[in-house]
A = this chain, B = another copy of it.
Amino acid sequence: MNGHQTRAIVRIREMILRGELGPGERVAEAPLAERLGMSRTPVRQALPVLAQEGLLAEHQTRGYVVRGFSTADVLDAIDLRGVLEGLAARRVAERGASRTLLQALRVCLAEGDQILAEGHVADKFEALYVDMNVRFHQLIVAECRSPIIQQALERNARIPFAGPQALALDKTSLERMYDTMAYAHRQHHCIVSALERGESSRVEALMREHTNPVKENLNIPGTSEEPREVKPHLALVR
């Protein structure tokens, strides 16, 4: 994926999530390229990627249209992810986490610690963190060995921000973004600690609570802790 395509994906994503492109709206190559001040090729390449992410739907005759997700849907799906991952983690703790799992999770913890040791958002920071984060969550769910829970999570992850790859980074404030990462990663430490000690009730509660940094960063009116004047500048990291 080249730089132009990536930029096109990021920009169109933001337009959808901010509502600049509304549900059901047709997304045509030419006007979009003009609006973005880009050439048509990267825009054309971006559309199938966004369709796979669930933000666009392929229309029989009209190319691509924006899929309809309400704010409530997004928040519900984030909650649901916490509830499903909480169920998976609780079960893992009840049965006793395997040494293999704990070792793999400790590698994730060390990676995150190293990324955060910079003390600020460094280059390549996001991609590395997201990669570690996805692995961390998948390891726990996989250990649960439940196709039912796995499928429910996969289905749920089609909704924007409802997967571990979606950190909803608030790029308007790099400092705020760093603090959120640091907080979320400390939760990772607590989750591993709870799994080590078989604290199944605690690990379930932690997994649920762990989705709140995502919700807060979404900056959706009525969900964030305090009213904020600033318009959100979200970037969906995958």
Contacts and interface: CB of A to CB of B under 8 A. Distances in A.
Interface of A: 72-73, 76-77, 79-80, 83-84, 87, 90, 94-95, 146-149, 152, 155-156, 159, 179, 182-183, 186, 189-190, 192-193, 196-202, 204-206, 208-209, 212, 216, 225
Nearest to A162: B148
A143 to B, nearest CB: 14
Report which residue of A83, A148, A202, A225 has the largest number of chain B beta carbons within 10 angstroms of its beta carbon.
A148
24 contacts: A73-B148, A79-B87, A80-B84, A80-B87, A80-B148, A83-B84, A83-B87, A94-B197, A95-B198, A148-B159, A152-B152, A152-B156, A179-B182, A182-B182, A190-B212, A190-B225, A192-B225, A193-B212, A193-B225, A199-B200, A200-B200, A200-B201, A205-B209, A209-B209
A75 to B, nearest CB: 9
Given A87-B79, A94-B200, A201-B201, A209 B225 contact: no
A235 B208 CA distance: 33
Contacts of A147: 73, 76
Nearest to A186: B183
Given A83-B87, A87-B83, A72 B146 contact: yes
Contacts of A196: 225
